[in-house]
Amino acid sequence: MIDARLAAVVVLAAGEGTRMKSTRTPKVLHELLGRTLLGHVVAANRSLQPDHLVVVVGHAREQVTAHLAEIDPAATAVVQEQQNGTGHAVRVALEGLGELEGTVVVVPGDAPLLRAETLRLLVDEHHARGAATTLLSAHLDDPTGYGRIVRDAAGGVVAIVEHKDADAQVLALTEVNAGVYAFDAAHLRDALEGLTTDNAQGEEYLTDVIALHRAAGLPVAAHVAADAVETNGINDRVQLSQARRLLRDRVVEQHQRAGVTVVDPETTWIDVQVAIEADAELRPGCQLHGLTTVAAGAVVGPDTTLLDTEVGEDATVLKAHCVGAVIGPRANVGPYTYLRPGTVLGRGSKAGGFVEIKASTIGEGSKVPHLSYVGDAVIGERSNVGAATVVVNYDGRAKHRTTIGDDVRIGSDTMLVAPVTVGDGAYTAAGSVITDDVPAGALGVGRARQRNIEGWVARRRGDGGHHHQEKQS
Ligand code: UD1
Ligand code: CA
């Protein structure tokens, strides 16, 4: 009787990934839509709730291990000192786990399109068949490079033969091994002990477990992937961008089916963790990254990038770049607006064209409509900040805070030299440099008084008063 528990998932990620041609980033740490290759694989497998999730690391092990600790602290990294093959890698992983019972799933670390649902089907089929091993296979038009699935006359899986070890007859087979398996732990352990390096690559092939099981009279099953792209492994940056496009289409479609309008799927890039409510609309050219959320009725885009940003109900965000911002319900942002971390826009507020805001709260109904910088400030409700206002928050050494009350009118081109407070209902005169607090209800004027110098232009020319226009003609 085979134990149906999922004892462990083993992710193979010790290989170098030479075809990425990277001296900085190990293959499995390359990113697509908010997760690394490894991050996608780990997340899909974590959803199976295994007792252990082990990642076999080798090349760039410090970087990969540190990343794993960040994305899945409950997972463990096991070091495979030398990459002696996939069978050897699994043996190393199991050695660290003691006497396992139940099912062990093995997956490659570079298959980011593999879905949790497919893994679940594989494991379910494995349990239903009572198999020693159930492998995931796929039919490919071009099976070059993959291990081929060899079946007997009755359709039973007999062996996996690696491309490099295959003869012409086997090379003609188009059913390939995805490198994803569900094993019975005890039978796997037994078979791993019987692996040899007697093959074209001189490695311990995990794939030889199949033939060993067959020889021992154990049942082997195959689950054919409904969508062959799920089994795609990423080896170079061309495949990385192909996978990113496929994942983009999948994510966009999920949101569309859940009620989100996506005007132009091909130019809309949504990270996998982004949450969007039904009846939100994404216009062309949007990139939604990280933990961004978009509420119902909001319109985002065109040409907008949001990272870790919250967009409230019925807000509009047009041609903006926002990082770590909270955009309240019915707020208006854009065009050409840069919202930086710690920006909180209240309900119905506005951050307009060529406005940059950092670490500031803009109260309900308040507006910063044009050409302004606001940093380290709190603005109350229903206040207006005139065009070209700058909150002068930095004295070259430290940042200082600015407080603006409710119903304030900041005149155009005001410099608010922090720390400074403008009380409720106060005004500042256009062009003022405000260095002292402005009490509630007061007008703060901080500018030189204008004087007109009569006849100055003519005197400068020394022409005794001939009109400018006459001189030119
Ligand atoms: C493997 C399979 C092949 C299958 C293909 C699917 C074997 C022998 N062959 O071939 O049948 O069609 O995957 O993509 O298993 N790794 C380690 N340690 C090692 C060797 C590899 O951790 O010693 C890791 C690699 O980093 C990689 C994965 O195992 O993530 C697969 O290894 P790779 O060498 O790419 O196997 P393939 O030749 O692609
Ligand atoms: Ca290989």
Spatial distance between the Cα atoms of 344 and 137, rounded to a whole number of angstroms = 50
Contacts of 219 (CB under 8 A, 6+ apart): 129, 130, 131, 132, 213
State the burial class of residue 261 (Cβ atoms within 10 Å of its Cβ: 0-12, 13-18, 19+).
middle
365 lines ligand 1 (CB under 6 A): no
In 27-123, DSSP assigns E strands to: 31-32, 35-36, 52-57, 76-79, 103-108
Q: What is the pLDDT of residue 471?
A: 47
Give the 3-state DSSP-derived string for 392-437, with helices as H, strands as E and coil as C: ECECCCCECCEEECCCCEECCCCEEECCEEECCCCEECCCCEECCC
Residue written as tokens 């490198």? 179
Spatial distance between the Cα atoms of 276 and 36, rounded to a whole number of angstroms = 22
- What DSSP designation does 115 have? -
Averaged pLDDT, groups of 10, the chain, 473 residues long: 76 94 95 98 97 97 98 98 97 93 97 97 97 98 96 97 97 98 97 96 97 97 96 94 98 98 98 98 98 99 98 98 98 98 98 98 98 98 98 94 98 98 98 98 96 96 63 46
Spatial distance between the Cα atoms of 341 and 462, rounded to a whole number of angstroms = 57
What stretch(es) of the chain map to CATH 2.160.10.10? 260-444
Which residue lies with its CA nearest to atom 28 of ligand 1? 108
Task: Give residue 218 CA to ligand 1 midpoint distance, Å.
Answer: 24
Beta-ladder partners of 183:
104, 133
233 lines ligand 1 (CB under 6 A): yes
231 lines ligand 1 (CB under 6 A): no
Distance of CA 301 to the CA centre of its chain: 18
Task: Give residue 14 CA to ligand 2 midpoint distance, Å.
Answer: 11
- In the chain, the N- to C-terminal Cα span, in Å, equals 106
Residue 77: how many CA atoms within 13 Å on its side-chain side?
23
88 lines ligand 1 (CB under 6 A): yes
Residue written as tokens 């004892």? 7
Give SS3 for 278. coil
Give 417-431 pLDDT, tens digit per residue. 999 999 999 999 999
Residue 262: how many CA atoms within 13 Å on its side-chain side?
27
Residue 142: how many CA atoms within 13 Å on its side-chain side?
3
- Annotated catalytic residue within 127, 370, 400, 468: 370
Distance of CA 346 to the CA centre of its chain: 27
Question: In a mutational test of the pocket of ligand 1, which residue from 82, 86, 197, 207 has the highest number of ligand atoms less than 8 Å from its CB?
Answer: 86
Q: In what helix (H) or strand (E) does residue 220 lie, and over which residues does it extend? A: strand 220-224
Task: Give residue 74 CA to ligand 1 midpoint distance, Å.
Answer: 25
CATH of 260-444 given 1.10.10.10, 3.40.50.970, 2.160.10.10, 2.60.40.10: 2.160.10.10
For residue 370, indicate whether it is catalytic: yes
Buried-state track 144-178, b at ≥16 Cβ within 10 A, e below 16 = eebbbbbeeeeeebebbbbeebbeeebeebebbbb
Beta-ladder partners of 351:
333, 368
Do you know the residue count of the chain? 473
Helix orientation angle between 116-129 and 37-46, rounded to the nearest 10 degrees:
50
What stretch(es) of the chain map to CATH 3.90.550.10? 6-231
Q: What is the pLDDT of residue 468?
A: 53
Q: What is the pLDDT of residue 414?
A: 98
Spatial distance between the Cα atoms of 432 and 445, rounded to a whole number of angstroms = 6
| Helix, strand, coil in percent for the chain, rounding step 5 | 25, 30, 45
Spatial distance between the Cα atoms of 183 and 162, rounded to a whole number of angstroms = 19
Task: Give the Cβ contact number of residue 130 at 10 Å.
Answer: 13
Q: What is the pLDDT of residue 1?
A: 42
Task: Give residue 155 CA to ligand 1 midpoint distance, Å.
Answer: 25
311 lines ligand 1 (CB under 6 A): no
Q: What is the pLDDT of residue 5?
A: 76
Residue 201: how many CA atoms within 13 Å on its side-chain side?
18
Q: What is the pLDDT of residue 16?
A: 87
Q: What is the CATH number of domain 6-231?
A: 3.90.550.10
Q: What is the pLDDT of residue 99?
A: 87
- What DSSP designation does 282 have? E
The model's pTM: 0.92
12 lines ligand 1 (CB under 6 A): yes
Largest Cα–Cα separation, the chain: 116
Task: Give residue 108 CA to ligand 1 midpoint distance, Å.
Answer: 7
State the burial class of residue 468 (Cβ atoms within 10 Å of its Cβ: 0-12, 13-18, 19+).
exposed
Contact in structure between 285 and 303 (CB atoms under 8 Å): yes
Tokens representing residue 174 in the block = 């188009």
